[in-house]
Amino acid sequence: MFNWAEEWHMSFAGCGFRSMYYVGALSCILERVPQLVHGASTFGGASSGCLVAAALAVGIPIEKLCFMILITAKEARKHNLGVFHPTFSLLRVVQRSLLEMLPEDAHLRATGRLCVSLTQLNDGRNVLVSEFASREDKTGVCFAGSNRYMDGALSNNMPLFEHRNTITLSPFSGESDICPTEGTFNFFEAHYGNVSIQVNTGNVHRVCTAFLPPRLEVSPCPEVLGLKLVEFKSD
């Protein structure tokens, strides 16, 4: 049973364009258990997951986050190879969109509330960053815009995982607290950067569309998608 009296965190796994799943999950949570988001002390994320964590840390509405993800996916779909096309820069598109949405004091709001996972380029070790000097610095850190770091998903795709009362979210079916569920029992699962991913056809599709976003479609509500929610009750 979830203990509302204790401090808790939320951590979002990196997942490319599958981060749209978080929009549906958070919309559901904000409608049914808004205190779960509003009362969290820290939001952690790696890769695209830190985009979601950053939005929550500084107070960007879910609608704006959804719009930014859709715009980025639209830009990627203009190229046959999506994010792998040599003329497409995911970093540039996302940073431009994020800067347009972030308030001027975003770095002040995020310091101490946002935890970004990065991977050191020289030795591959994980680094967690939670202090930001400026709004521009914040966007650079979120997307490893430094020659000293690369994608945090390579070393720790679920920051704050080891902390007590961390609610983990992932768009891949597995053992995360909030994630899709499959209709059949899975005997095999893989662990990548503290994220559990079951070996099944559903996850194969999810991994593929994380890099090559499909055409815009109307998605069903989160519970129809098979959201697995941990039980949250007040004592």
Query: Which run of H or E residues covers position 183?
Result: none
Counted domains in the chain? 1
Q: 220 lies in a domain?
A: no
The pLDDT tens digits for 174-207 are: 999 999 988 766 668 888 888 989 988 889 889 8
- Interval 210-219: pLDDT, tens: 887 766 654 4
| Whole-number pLDDT of residue 104 | 84
Q: Taking the CA atoms of the chain, what radius of gyration do you get in angstroms?
A: 17
| Residue 24: inside a domain | yes
Residue 58's domain comprises 9-174+186-209
**Predicted confidence band at 37 (pLDDT cuts at 50, 70, 90)?**
very high
Domain membership flag for residue 224 = no
pLDDT confidence band for 1 (50 / 70 / 90) = low
Q: What is the pLDDT at residue 224?
A: 37
Q: Is residue 223 domain-resident?
A: no
Residues with catalytic roles? 47, 151
Q: Is the pLDDT of residue 93 over 60?
A: yes
- Domain assignment of residue 231, yes or no: no
In a domain, 45, yes or no: yes
Q: What is residue 144's predicted lDDT score, i.e. its pLDDT?
A: 57
Helix (H) or strand (E) holding 222: helix 222-225
The answer to the question of residue 4 being in a domain is: no
Mean pLDDT over the full length of the chain: 81
CB 103 within 8 A of CB 109: yes
pLDDT at 29 over 80: yes
As a whole number of angstroms, the distance between CA 42 and CA 9 comes to 5
DSSP string, 146-215: STTEEEGGGT-SSTTTTSTTEEEE-SSSSSSSBEE--SS--S-EEEETTEEEE-SHHHHHHHHHHHS---
Domain membership of residue 160 (yes or no) is yes
Q: How many whole angstroms separate alpha carbon 153 and alpha carbon 221?
A: 28
pLDDT confidence bin for 87, thresholds 50/70/90: low
DSSP 178: B
Q: Could you give the angle at the alpha carbon of 140 between the alpha carbons of 146 and 67, nearest 5°?
A: 140
